Structure 1
Amino acid sequence: MEIRETFFLVGRSHSIWEKILKKGAWFRLKIPLSYQFSEFDCAPVTFLNAFLYLFDRTMTEPSMIQNIFQYSLDLSDRKGEIGKGGTSVDAVRQITNWLNTYSQDKKLGFTCTFLMEDEVNFIKNENIKNYINKGVGITTVCITEGMYHYILVVKIDKDYVYFFDPYYTDDKQDQDDIEYVYDKPAEYNRRVKLDWFTSHEERFYSLGKMERRKLILINK
């Protein structure tokens, strides 16, 4: 009732608000995925993007947002400044475990699976493709040699991987194997050739070395 009255006051002359509220469409709107707030928060932002993509906003409870950020940004840089080293593998594992427990307790119906190193093989393990196409995958990709970054993979077909990179940049130049996408803000902003993405070489937007690979599969 309070929500209804608030919208009626704001848009008194717009009957569209009443139609939206009656249908519940306000809550089912697909929200554009988010970009990072800093140079270091790709992991927590990507976790939250996973739930924006999979569910409507009523499923993303405040405690999920709070705990994702609480565990994140636990690493320090060389100067000892906390958070500027990003988010550790242990923290990502803690987030995954907490989300599984929370989903089970609240009967939310999603599960998270954490894979590392040799387990993250998109070519040999067909189950990864199937899981992602039914849900999403949070994984790390190489940005430059030795530097990796979390993204949200939402779809894979026989030729391409579709993902959302939470790092906003104006330097968007398509390459032979990498395409920037502008018209899918609630789904993905990159389309990359599968053979490029799955490469063991440390090159831009590749999974890179096996020992550096991490993947969290989230299914509903």
Structure 2
Amino acid sequence: MYSPFHYQISEYDCVPTAITNAISFLFHRKEIPPMVIRHIYLYCLDTVGHDSRFGLGGTSKYAVRLVGNWLNAYRRKSFSVATQFLEKERVTMVPGAQIESCLSGGGVVLCNILLTPRDEHYLMVTAMDDEWIYCFDSYRRQSIRGMKGMVRLIDGGDGRSPNLKIRRDWVEQDQLKRFCLGPMQMRESLLIWRTS
């Protein structure tokens, strides 16, 4: 049995929630070792905010890369994945790029997007077509305002379907706009495929 996707329980845990959702997307519940969930949360929420408080800046790209490397190395009979961390100009939704190849090969893509010019957020991308990318956004929303049809909430009624879609040409912008990948130097993404 596959597990339904989860929503964040705080303002800061989008990365560990996106990674655990990706594992849930790829594996049946009984195939997921507890060690995998343990290490995702062990490595994430590593930033240090004001007054030396951990996690107030969410998860760093170094921690995302570390989790990806650990997942690559961890192998069990029913659990094995390949991951690839992309940065800068390699993070693109153009046809034939690595993200599209991952999705067409049955993988899942964790993409860092902008929510404001200063706030970043990880989404789980599960599919794309010529016009849209389809995501599960772990930040529960009732509505999205001011996006003029570029970003739309969709009914993820079964708990395992996308709940958000973003126009492919919009997300690709290199400007500091909402629901965009943003400037090249800020872009990051983690690709995950099942190999067992």
Could you state the TM-score of these two structures normalised by the residue count of structure 1?
Answer: 0.81
Q: 1:179 aligns with which of 146, 152, 162?
A: 152
Once residues 87 and 70 of structure 1 are traced to their aligned partners in structure 2, the CA distance between those partners, rounded to angstroms, is 11
The offset of 1:175, in angstroms, is 3.7
Give runs of aligned pairs for residues 93-104 of structure 1, distance below 5 A.
93-103=65-75
The offset of 1:32, in angstroms, is 2.0
Once residues 43 and 156 of structure 2 are traced to their aligned partners in structure 1, the CA distance between those partners, rounded to angstroms, is 33
The offset of 1:170, in angstroms, is 2.6
What is the SS of the residue equivalent to 1:195?
Answer: helix
What is the SS of the residue equivalent to 1:154?
Answer: strand
Aligned to 2:168: 194
Aligned to 2:57: 85
- Please, what is the CA RMSD of the aligned residues? 1.7
Once residues 65 and 155 of structure 2 are traced to their aligned partners in structure 1, the CA distance between those partners, rounded to angstroms, is 32
CA separation of 1:119 and 1:197: change in aligned 2, threshold 3 A:
same
Residue deviations 1:54-100, cap 9 Å, x none?
11111221100100000011111123211112111111111011100
Q: Is this contact kept in 1: 2:31–2:78, CA < 8 A? A: no
Aligned to 1:122: 93
What is the SS of the residue equivalent to 1:204?
Answer: coil
Q: Which runs of 5+ in 2 are unaligned?
A: none
The offset of 1:107, in angstroms, is 6.1
Q: State the number of aligned residues.
A: 191
CA separation of 1:217 and 1:95: change in aligned 2, threshold 3 A:
same
Once residues 92 and 156 of structure 2 are traced to their aligned partners in structure 1, the CA distance between those partners, rounded to angstroms, is 29
Q: What letter matches 2:88 in structure 1?
A: E
If each structure's helix is expressed as a fraction of its own residues, which one has the higher value? Answer: 1
Once residues 125 and 200 of structure 1 are traced to their aligned partners in structure 2, the CA distance between those partners, rounded to angstroms, is 19
Q: 1:211 aligns with which of 167, 185, 192?
A: 185
Q: What letter matches 2:127 in structure 1?
A: K
Q: Which runs of 5+ in 1 are unaligned?
A: 1-27
Larger Rg: 1
Residue deviations 1:119-172, cap 9 Å, x none?
112216523202123210011001001221111000011111000111112334
The offset of 1:101, in angstroms, is 0.5
Q: Is this contact kept in 2: 1:53–1:187, CA < 8 A? A: no
Moved more, 120-129 or 134-143: 120-129
What is the SS of the residue equivalent to 1:128?
Answer: helix
Matched, 1:68 2:17: no
- Aligned identity (percent) is 30
Q: What letter matches 1:116 in structure 2?
A: E
Aligned to 1:151: 123
